[in-house]
Amino acid sequence: MRELSLHILDIVENSINARAKLIYIKVYERKKQDELIIYIEDNGCGMDSDFVQKVLDPFVTTRTTRKVGLGIPLFKAAAERCEGNFNIESELGKGTRVTAKFRLSHIDRAPFGDLPGTLTVLFTANPKTDFKYKHTTDDGTYEINTKEIKMVLEDVKISNPLVADWIKNNIVEGLISINGGGE
Ligand SMILES: Nc1ncnc2c1ncn2[C@@H]1O[C@H](COP(=O)(O)OP(=O)(O)OP(=O)(O)O)[C@@H](O)[C@H]1O
Ligand SMILES: [Mg+2]
């Protein structure tokens, strides 16, 4: 079972490759509704609807048009295994939104894994991209916006190890405070 943080890493890497300047990562963990929803939205190059269909099912496409990628099909399969669903909305030149919904308590629902560590790597290794991460549970919401952090840092780089440590701890403590992202 692939941890959810690794699926998120794959999908966000797609957004970075699509030259997104701003990426939203939103997680909704709702125990009462027994659902987990992960949204990843970017303002990158987007895809037309034919291409979205091909990407969702790489095995129907001819191999000559593109290399066979598995990031999206694997995430889709993970959601569908858990009585959930998966959707891509995309527009050429505008951006893409990927939505994966899971039944939170489903036996096959993978754990989050190291969400703080994964997000910290994404935020600090891609200084030219802004990230807005929002995680909501029944107990509250945690949010972090790298654009605000970069403004406060001025000349200090977001990749500075002290900054990276601070970001990771902020996420760890934020998630603890809302009982989110755990297993
Ligand atoms: N956010 C996005 N914006 C624009 N194009 C995208 C986006 N996400 C995916 N794509 C397109 O869909 C293709 C398939 O994505 P997918 O993650 O399934 O495979 P991949 O990235 O090609 O390979 P990998 O297996 O390494 O992830 C990408 O190569 C890219 O062309
Ligand atoms: Mg990919």
- In tens, the pLDDT along 49-90 reads 999 998 987 665 445 555 667 899 999 999 999 999 999 999
Query: Can you tell me the mean pLDDT for 93-99?
Result: 98
**pLDDT given for residue 70 in this prediction:** 84
Atom of ligand 1 nearest to the CA of 40: 1
Q: Could you tell me the two tokens for 138?
A: 């029944």
How far apart CA 99 and CA 41 sit, in angstroms, is 9
How far apart CA 81 and CA 2 sit, in angstroms, is 12
- The rounded mean pLDDT for the chain is 94
Atom of ligand 1 nearest to the CA of 67: 22
Helix (H, G, I), strand (E, B) or coil at 158: coil
Q: Is the distance from the beta carbon of residue 23 to the nearest atom of ligand 1 less than 6 Å?
A: no
Q: What is the pLDDT of residues 11-26, one digit of tens each?
A: 999 999 999 999 999 9
Q: Could you tell me the two tokens for 37?
A: 């929803």
Q: Whose CA is nearest to atom 20 of ligand 1?
A: 69
**pLDDT given for residue 69 in this prediction:** 75
Which one, of 179, 89, 170, 112, lies nearest residue 141 by Cα?
A: 179
Rounded alpha-carbon distances, angstroms, from residue 119 to 9, 48, 80, 86, 94: 8, 28, 24, 21, 24
- Grade residue 182 by pLDDT with cuts at 50, 70 and 90: confident
Q: Whose CA is nearest to atom 30 of ligand 1?
A: 14
Helix (H, G, I), strand (E, B) or coil at 7: helix
The crossing angle, in degrees rounded to 10, of helices 146-153 and 161-177 is 140
Percent residues over pLDDT 70 in the chain: 94
- Give the ligand with the smallest distance to the CA of 15: 1
**pLDDT given for residue 68 in this prediction:** 65
Least confident of 31-35, 59-63, 121-125: 59-63
Yes or no: say if 127 and 155 are a contact pair by the CB < 8 Å rule. Answer: no
Yes or no: say if 61 and 81 are a contact pair by the CB < 8 Å rule. Answer: no
Q: What is the pLDDT of residues 137-168, one digit of tens each?
A: 999 999 999 999 999 998 999 999 999 999 99
